[in-house]
Amino acid sequence: MKKTYKIDVDCANCANKMEEAAKKTPGVKDATVNFMALKMIVEFEDGREPGAVMQEVLKNCKKVEDDCEIFL
């Protein structure tokens, strides 16, 4: 399942770091951050609850870039 989330982040490198962090989160099959459109597209592994996974993604993103936001 794929879902798109609006994000807020200031720099392009930070967006890259968010993408890395999201990809490494358990339950995430693949993630792409589109800095220009300020969007994060997350593909979840089968049978995972997106809401719960996204909480983890947000936590991991906050770790690499304090000044970011994902609108869940």
Partner 1 sequence: MNKKQKKMLIRIIAAAVLMILFSLLPLGGYVKFGLFMIPYLVIGYDILKKAVKGILNKQVFDENFLMAVATIGAIIFGDYKEGVAVMLFYQIGELFQSYAVGKSRRNISDLMDIRPDYANIEKDGKLEKVDPDEVEVGSIIVVQPGEKIPIDGRITEGNTTLNTSALTGESLPREAKEGDEVISGCINMTGVLKIQTSREFGESTVSKILELVENSSSRKSRSENFISRFARIYTPAVCYGAVALAVLPPLFRMLFMGLSPEWGDWIYRALTFLVISCPCALVISIPLSFFAGIGGASKEGVLVKGSNYLETLSQTKYVVFDKTGTMTRGVFEVNGVHHNVMPEEKLLEYAAYAESFSSHPISRSIQKAYGKEIDKSRVTDVQEISGNGVTALVDGTQVAAGNGKLMKHLGIEYQECHQVGTVVHLAVDGAYAGHILISDLLKPGAKDAIHELKKAGVTRTVMLTGDVKAVAEQVAEELGINEVYSELLPADKVSKVEELLQKKGDKDKLAFVGDGINDAPVLSRADIGIAMGALGSDAAIEAADIVLMDDDPRKIAKAIKISRKCIRIVYENIYFAIGVKILCLILGALGIANMWLAIFADVGVMVIAVLNAIRALFVKKL
- CA-CA distances (angstroms) from residue 21 to 55, 56, 58? 13, 10, 9
1 binding partner 1? (CB under 8 A): no
Contact residue for partner 1 among 16, 23, 55, 69 (CB under 8 A): 16
Contact flag: residue 17 with partner 1 (CB under 8 A): yes
**Is 72 among the residues that bind partner 1 (CB under 8 A)?**
no
Decide: residue 54, CB within 10 A, 0-12 exposed, 13-18 middle, 19+ buried: buried
43's tokens: 């593909």
Residues that bind partner 1 (CB under 8 A): 10-13, 16-17, 32, 34-39, 41, 63-64, 66-67
